[in-house]
Amino acid sequence: MKKIGLISDIHGNATAAREVIQDAKQNGVDEFWFLGDLFMPGPGRSELLHLLLESNTTTFVKGNWDGCLTSVIEEYETINYGDPEEVFIFKLVHYVMKDLTEEELKFMFNIPMTVEREIYGVKFHLSHNLPENFGGGDLIVQSPAENFAKLFEYTDAQIAIYGHIHQPVMRRVGMGDERVVINPGAVSTTQNKDSSYSILKVEECGKWSIEFRNLIHNHKQDLIEARRNDLSYYELYEDTVLNHIHHTHDVEGIDKVNKKYNYVHDLKAWLSDETMLTLMNKFRNKQLE
C-alpha cells in the first residue's frame, strides 16, 4: 500500500507544517503532494521549502499566493502605492524575498498550475483551485456540480485533488457521476481554527481510500517566530492565527498598518535597489541559468 500525505495552504506557518508532517510520518506516510500556497502571510520562508523537499514532497502545484510572489517579481513596475492591498502584497513578498536564494526563487517560478499523478493505475489530477485559475470562490463547499466538473475538463483522471478553500471536502461531482473531488483542508488554519491534511491510501490492486486528519495547535511558537523574524503585518497575522479573522481584503486595517510602519517608504527603497532590480529583471526576462 502507498500512503501519500496531501497538504495544502501552509501560508508561512512553519510550526504547523512541521507538526503535520511529523503526524503524517508517524502514520506511515513517506511521500507528500503539496497543493499550493506555501508562503505568506506567516513567518516561514526558505526553511519551509527545505522542510517540504527534505520530507519527500514529490509534487507541487502553484497556489494563488505563490502566484503573487512571482507576479510581483515580474510586474514590480506596476505597483500602485495608493492601493493599501497592493502595498500589503508587495510588502509580504519583500519579506519573503529577503530570505530566498535565486535558486529557491527559480523553484517557485517553475511550479506548475496542474499535475497528474498515477499510482497503481489510479490517476489523480492536482491543482490549487480551477486548472486555469488558482484563485476565486468557484470551488467552495456549496458550489454546484458543474463547478467541480471543471476540474476534469483537461484530464481523464477519476479523482481531482485541490486546495484553496481551507476546508476538507470529499464528494462526487454529481448524482450518477463516478468522478471524485478531494480537498485536504489547510495546514495553516481551517474554518475550525485547527490544521487539517489527508492521507491518501492506494493499494496495489487499485483500491484507494482517504483519511482526513485534524491537529489542534498552540500557536505560541509560530508567533514567536513571527516576532523574531520581524514579520510584516504581525498584528494582522496574530489576529488571523488566534481568532481566524483574515485581513487580506481589510483595506482600512491594512492602511493603518502601512502608515504606522511607513511600509510605502520601505517598498520604494526596496524597488530602487539595483541588486534587487537586477535579480527581478532576470526573472522577468526569463534569463535564468
Cis peptide before 131 (omega within 30 of 0): no
Distance, CA of 264 to CA of 207 (rounded, Å): 54
pLDDT in tens, 186-226: 999 755 568 999 999 999 999 999 999 999 887 889 999 99
Residue-level pLDDT at 243: 85
Ramachandran quadrant class, 6 (left: phi over 0; alpha: psi -120 to 50; beta: rest): beta
Distance, CA of 51 to CA of 14 (rounded, Å): 9
| More reliable by pLDDT, 216 or 114 | 114
CB-based burial, 4-25: b 16+ in 10 Å, e otherwise: bbbbbbbbbbbbbbbbbbebbe
pLDDT in tens, 6-24: 999 999 999 999 999 999 9
**Mean predicted confidence (pLDDT) in 122-149:** 95
Distance, CA of 254 to CA of 118 (rounded, Å): 43
Decide: helix, strand or coil at residue 27. coil
**Mean predicted confidence (pLDDT) in 50-69:** 98
Nearest to 258 by CA among 100, 77, 92: 92
Query: What is the C-alpha radius of gyration for the chain, rounded to an integer number of angstroms?
Result: 19
What domains are defined for the chain?
A: 2-76+103-215 (3.60.21.10)
Any residues with CB less than 8 A from the CB of 238 and at least 6 apart, and which?
A: 223, 226
Nearest to 204 by CA among 122, 116, 115: 122
Q: What's the chain's length in residues?
A: 289
- pLDDT classification of 174: cutoffs 50, 70, 90: confident
**Mean predicted confidence (pLDDT) in 239-249:** 88
Distance, CA of 238 to CA of 155 (rounded, Å): 40
Model-level pTM?
0.96
**Mean predicted confidence (pLDDT) in 157-169:** 96
- Is pLDDT above 70 for 91? yes
Nearest to 196 by CA among 220, 221, 215, 170: 215
Q: Which residue has the cell 537586477?
A: 278
**Mean predicted confidence (pLDDT) in 246-268:** 96
- Is pLDDT above 80 for 35? yes
- Is pLDDT above 70 for 288? no
Residue-level pLDDT at 191: 54
- Is pLDDT above 90 for 241? no
- Is pLDDT above 60 for 289? no
**Mean predicted confidence (pLDDT) in 114-135:** 96
The grid cell for 154 is 483537461
Looking at residue 101, its amino acid is T
- pLDDT classification of 238: cutoffs 50, 70, 90: very high
DSSP single-letter state for residue 62: -
